[in-house]
Structure 1
Amino acid sequence: MFQTFEVQSSPDQGPPRLAALRTLMAQKGFDVFLVPRADAHQGEYVAPRDARLAWLTGFSGSAGFCAVLADAAGVFIDGRYRVQVRAQVADVFTPVHWPEVQLADWLAEQLPQGGTIAYDPWLHTASEIAGLREKLTALTFTTTDNLVDAIWDDQPTAPDAPFTAHALEHAGETHADKRARLAADMDETAAVLTLPDSIAWLLNIRGTDIDRNPVPQAFAILYKDGRVDLFAGAGKADDILEHLGPDVTVHDVDAFLGALGALKGQVLIDKRSCPDKVATVLKEAGCDVIAGQDPCILPKACKNDAEVAGAKAAHERDAVAMVRFLAWLDAMAPQGGLTEIDVVKALEGFRMQTNALRDISFDTICGAGPNGAIVHYRVSEETNRPITEGNLLLVDSGGQYIDGTTDITRTMAIGTPTNEHKTCYTRVLQGMLAISRIRFPKGVGGQHLDALARAPLWMAGQDYDHGTGHGVGSYLSVHEGPQGIYRQSDVTLKKGMILSNEPGYYREGAFGIRIENLIVVIDALALAGADDRKMLSFETLTYVPFDRRLIDTALLTHAERDWIDRYHSDTLSLLAPRLDAQTRDWLTAACAPL
């Protein structure tokens, strides 16, 4: 159920697999074959059966893709994975910095005379393919069955675990009311849903098809009258038929394409997540395909009162586990002998002792010293480092509970930190406080706030290559759109949205620092003397102390110092009654005023 530490695929497996793929490409007359991270549902995480990018290249990150040609194979990765990719892929693959380098530009340079680009239409979105076609007019596009599947002899089978119902006390709204609410706003005859978390939210169901993310792999069609056709693997929905009721009809997933072909009139799809195959079938059926946002996306992001209450309960429970872990770490680290894997196992053990944990919400990131500079590092038996004096230890982790999803990062000093450690940590902390304390008018998006978190680092000529915050689901995906706090996020922040707040700083080969709390958008409290303008703010959900050893109080303003002291006081009041005496003593010291 929880994290394992297998030896990862060796880079020397890459050359023969790439050679086999190129042989098949040559037989079929393809100059390019695209290998994305995605599956047919376009979620961030994939089942083992769909981990084609990792199988081919060795790269295990959660975002990226590969473009294979006869004499080049580019692995496109963003700033989170540029250290990781160099360690994981063989020399036959070339890391490409994306999005700075766009696939279309790279292909145009590789194939100036044109050629044939082949792709699996289930694994690429309609907008992605449309964009490539628009830019690469010299290339011929063709769809194909997946070529990686054809050479992957021991490919795992598809997930087959049954779906479960998500109780109303946690969902806060019946699926009948959700369906009616969304249908009332639809102008189209039907909307096609392909994202598992959208279907999970709409129908109040959950699944175990994807590790760490309790989503059901399925497709659905929502009709103007509120009915839904649900398409799932054989038997997967048998246990929830009574929950779904008469207005939700379950079909075998193999019937999905036929149902699309039978649709008439206007049909809504979200081209940013809908597979190209779906859009093509609808067009061939003569439907008037309307491009718009998945109708579940925004309602799902704005948590209702029951979901917010559940998130608070989950975070309090999770904080108890985190504090017990931090107290354990402070006691054990000076004795020596700990490794990253030991730390991960201990933390997951403390979460399991809550007796409420369903799963971890992602593979725990635990990086000691230079491994902390790998933003999405995952420890393996090959990379496992000892926890030694003078290290910084970055631990990013979370839990899936029936009432909420958690995600928290803390960076700890092992022994005595250097002045540089303290200075960099304090700048990161100041950025996190800037987001925590901000008030903003309605209509503001995450891109307006991102610079606040970076400003203390920018003033020192430093920065980080990832977003400041992502949306988080309600016992759903730990990364959830559409909201976020990053430069490209133009989604207006609305009441009830849960986001992470996680600035960082990374010194390759030396250390990494990240501090993360989850926050929820609320109506801001009225201020004396303020004008009559509707304002929003953030309420903090995560209450776990920061490492006071790493805070340079001389860099803090009075307001920042007061905020930290109040936060620590609230943490102590909230958690102390749930702790044993020894851990309570540790927490009291950790939360002492600055």
Structure 2
Amino acid sequence: MFQTFQDTASPDQGPARLTALRAAMAAAGVDGFLVPRADAHQGEYVAPHDDRLAWLTGFTGSAGWAVALAARAAVFVDSRYRVQVKAQVADCFEKIDWPEVALSDWIGEALAEGAIGFDPWLLTVDQLERMQTALPGLTLTRCENLIDAIWDDQPRPPQGAVFAQPLELSGEAHEDKITRLAKDLTSDAAILTLPDSIAWLLNIRGSDIPRNPVPHGFAILHGDGRVTLYMDAGKLANLGDHLGPRVTLRAPKDFLNDVHGLQGTVQIDPATCPVAVAVADALTAKITHGDDPVSLPKARKNAAELAGARAAHLRDGVAMVRFLAWLDAQPPGSLTEIDVVKALEEERRATNALRDISFETISGAGPNGAIVHYRVTEKTNRKVNDGELLLVDSGGQYVDGTTDITRTMAIGTPGDEERDAFTRVLKGMIAVSRLRFPAGLAGRDIDPFARAALWEAGLDYGHGTGHGIGSYLSVHEGPQRIARSGTVPLEPGMLLSNEPGFYKEGAYGIRIENLIAVQQAEPLPGQTVPQMLTFETLTWVPIDTRLVNVALLTQAERDWLNAYHSECEARLAPHLQEKTKLWLTQACKAI
């Protein structure tokens, strides 16, 4: 059931915890200590045991760093969290705009000489190499985790049960995946650390990370078509003989020794492999660098995974429409943000198919909507007032797919400024949805289409336009993304979000998000480009037309929106009761 998101540390705890960390630094003989938001598996999400950044600073965002020195300390966050960090982090920490200000630049300016300690399980090979290059005058020192040393009530590491993902939903037996990927290796073995890579490869799912059905573990993919899996046996009690003879189970404590004993060449992904795994003087094998060999195959969804995504989104769309109809019936000012979160989760649970929500629901009314990754707490909870915008970003984990959707709704009568901004965000979402583009283009090539209408008015947003989505896996999945930094070419089968936005600090936030799948486009007469791609829309939930300034839409955009709403009604109405069906008909009325 719903639980309000609890701050791991309040700002008034920050100074005492920073003082304790500095004492631990002095005892360890280091002049500074790095605290990334990361765990040993280098996934995006961390278990409570590994949420060290939040414990130390109070910052609960999904990305960031802290650096503690003897006289200065700082928290580094990107543009999604600039508002949030001000509210959550005490003044004993400087708040630094990252990556505009590089971690190494700040350290180099703040500390002329000395040693910076770090936990080698929490820094990747790439991160360490970049810092060593940028800080030649400082020593980067591997040491024990100093946060663990002072965190008296640190939660225990997770021990969630592991279960099999059925073949009819995965679409390919894990033995066949192992064979296929092993053949493509250019080394004798590859190290796998990412939880979702291991889960996808072996057709297993887990429960070690809240909202993400992945298990913690490590694996070695061998070139001869075997896998060695390092995971606590107790977590696998319900798997039976699923793994089969091609997979050898070993205890996690054996992982480093086994890596050190490998022969020949061993591939690591320097962007995700912890430094602790790739300590050169402990290895007998030759280390080679390459991308995680599971990453791209996992991103290219097969027919079964795509069918599952469509089914999950239809089911989720029914729950969303039931929620939106309920929301519209409530008098302005009668609900709080927490009321909204509870009601939406209840509708998803009423499907009797929900395994979990796919992330903590964002329910931001008025100024809270301008906090891009806002999480409501009992302390921040506020009324949804008349004349405000309500931004709700949410999703569900179903055994056949993962969903993620954002809708921004008018509560009462919206203002002209809000309608103008909303319509420009909508124009960007429609532009991406309608796009035809040559094969070989990457997300950075698509991103400007989502922003053009905002740019015309001198507006923009600080986050990417789209992230990859897992198949009953992580709600954020690489390597594909629609963003200025998205360099991986888009391929058929890849799932992405399409979520432009606009945020006015202290006033309101707007985001409209559908999920889309890359597919081959039907060739046009006289087409000269060998292959064109386009997007299949997966999300079918009405967009609030009360917020649309129709005069800003082109005829083609109006046609797309009307066709989208017609399809929403056709797909969802058969699954709704009469009262909700009437609401849907009105919400989908052509403009």
TM-score in terms of structure 1 length: 0.98
CA distance in structure 1 between the aligned counterparts of 2:426 and 2:372, rounded to whole angstroms: 17
> Is the contact between residue 333 and residue 387 of structure 1 (CA under 8 Å) also seen in structure 2?
no
Runs (5+) with no aligned partner, structure 1: none
Root-mean-square deviation (Å): 1.0
Matched, 1:414 2:411: yes
Q: CA deviation at 1:367?
A: 0.3
CA separation of 1:333/1:258 partners in 2, compared to 1, >3 Å: closer, same or farther? farther
Match of 2:177 in 1: 178
> Is the contact between residue 519 and residue 542 of structure 1 (CA under 8 Å) also seen in structure 2?
yes
Match of 1:376 in 2: 373
Superposed, 1:14-33 pairs within 5 Å as 14-33=14-33
Match of 2:466 in 1: 469
Match of 1:225 in 2: 224
What per-residue deviation string (whole Å, max 9, x for no partner) do you get for residues 367-400 of structure 1? 0000000000000000001011001000000000
> Is the contact between residue 234 and residue 253 of structure 1 (CA under 8 Å) also seen in structure 2?
no
CA distance in structure 1 between the aligned counterparts of 2:478 and 2:160, rounded to whole angstroms: 26
Matched, 1:320 2:321: no
CA separation of 1:448/1:374 partners in 2, compared to 1, >3 Å: closer, same or farther? same
- The number of residues matched between the two structures is 591
Superposed, 1:97-246 pairs within 5 Å as 97-112=97-112, 114-246=113-245
Match of 2:79 in 1: 79
Give the counterpart of 2:355 among 343, 354, 358. 358
Q: CA deviation at 1:4?
A: 3.1
Match of 2:399 in 1: 402
> Is the contact between residue 162 and residue 238 of structure 2 (CA under 8 Å) also seen in structure 1?
yes
> Is the contact between residue 172 and residue 307 of structure 1 (CA under 8 Å) also seen in structure 2?
yes
Give the counterpart letter for 1:244 in structure 2.
L
Match of 1:582 in 2: 579
> Is the contact between residue 2 and residue 359 of structure 1 (CA under 8 Å) also seen in structure 2?
no
What per-residue deviation string (whole Å, max 9, x for no partner) do you get for residues 422-451 of structure 1? 000000000001100000001000000111
> Is the contact between residue 283 and residue 289 of structure 1 (CA under 8 Å) also seen in structure 2?
no
Give the counterpart of 2:308 among 310, 317, 320. 310
What per-residue deviation string (whole Å, max 9, x for no partner) do you get for residues 159-186 of structure 1? 1122111100110000000000001111
Give the counterpart letter for 2:88 in structure 1.
Q
Give the counterpart letter for 1:374 in structure 2.
I
CA distance in structure 1 between the aligned counterparts of 2:343 and 2:179, rounded to whole angstroms: 46
Match of 2:10 in 1: 10
Q: CA deviation at 1:261?
A: 1.2
CA distance in structure 1 between the aligned counterparts of 2:11 and 2:230, rounded to whole angstroms: 38
Q: CA deviation at 1:149?
A: 0.3
Match of 1:254 in 2: 253
What per-residue deviation string (whole Å, max 9, x for no partner) do you get for residues 309-347 of structure 1? 00000000000000000000000143x321000000000
Give the counterpart letter for 1:223 in structure 2.
H
Following TM superposition, where does structure 1 have runs of at least 4 consecutive aligned residues deviating by more than 2 angstroms? 1-9, 528-533
Q: CA deviation at 1:24?
A: 1.1
Match of 2:268 in 1: 269
Q: CA deviation at 1:251?
A: 0.9
Q: CA deviation at 1:234?
A: 4.1
Q: CA deviation at 1:148?
A: 0.3
Match of 1:521 in 2: 518
> Is the contact between residue 370 and residue 509 of structure 2 (CA under 8 Å) also seen in structure 1?
yes
Q: CA deviation at 1:462?
A: 0.4
CA distance in structure 2 between the aligned counterparts of 1:422 and 1:557, rounded to whole angstroms: 16
CA separation of 1:274/1:5 partners in 2, compared to 1, >3 Å: closer, same or farther? closer
Secondary structure of the 1:263 match is coil
Match of 1:289 in 2: 287
Match of 1:486 in 2: 483
Secondary structure of the 1:332 match is coil
Q: CA deviation at 1:525?
A: 1.5
> Is the contact between residue 7 and residue 60 of structure 2 (CA under 8 Å) also seen in structure 1?
no
481-490 or 4-13: bigger deviation: 4-13
> Is the contact between residue 362 and residue 398 of structure 1 (CA under 8 Å) also seen in structure 2?
yes
CA distance in structure 2 between the aligned counterparts of 1:225 and 1:2, rounded to whole angstroms: 46
Percent identical across equivalent pairs?
A: 62
Q: CA deviation at 1:241?
A: 4.5
Give the counterpart letter for 1:175 in structure 2.
H
What per-residue deviation string (whole Å, max 9, x for no partner) do you get for residues 66-97 of structure 1? 01101111101000000000000001011110
Give the counterpart letter for 2:309 in structure 1.
A
CA distance in structure 2 between the aligned counterparts of 1:161 and 1:530, rounded to whole angstroms: 52
Q: CA deviation at 1:532?
A: 5.2
CA distance in structure 2 between the aligned counterparts of 1:252 and 1:279, rounded to whole angstroms: 19
> Is the contact between residue 438 and residue 529 of structure 2 (CA under 8 Å) also seen in structure 1?
no
Superposed, 1:425-574 pairs within 5 Å as 425-531=422-528, 533-574=530-571
CA distance in structure 1 between the aligned counterparts of 2:456 and 2:488, rounded to whole angstroms: 27
Give the counterpart letter for 2:290 in structure 1.
G
Runs (5+) with no aligned partner, structure 2: none
Give the counterpart letter for 1:293 in structure 2.
D
CA distance in structure 1 between the aligned counterparts of 2:545 and 2:526, rounded to whole angstroms: 36
Give the counterpart letter for 1:402 in structure 2.
V
Matched, 1:347 2:344: yes
Match of 1:65 in 2: 65
CA distance in structure 2 between the aligned counterparts of 1:62 and 1:432, rounded to whole angstroms: 24
Give the counterpart letter for 2:422 in structure 1.
Y
Secondary structure of the 1:236 match is helix
> Is the contact between residue 4 and residue 376 of structure 2 (CA under 8 Å) also seen in structure 1?
no
CA separation of 1:432/1:575 partners in 2, compared to 1, >3 Å: closer, same or farther? same
Give the counterpart letter for 1:174 in structure 2.
A
Secondary structure of the 2:527 match is coil
What per-residue deviation string (whole Å, max 9, x for no partner) do you get for residues 462-488 of structure 1? 000000000000000000000000001
Q: CA deviation at 1:187?
A: 1.9
What per-residue deviation string (whole Å, max 9, x for no partner) do you get for residues 512-533 of structure 1? 0000000000000122332352
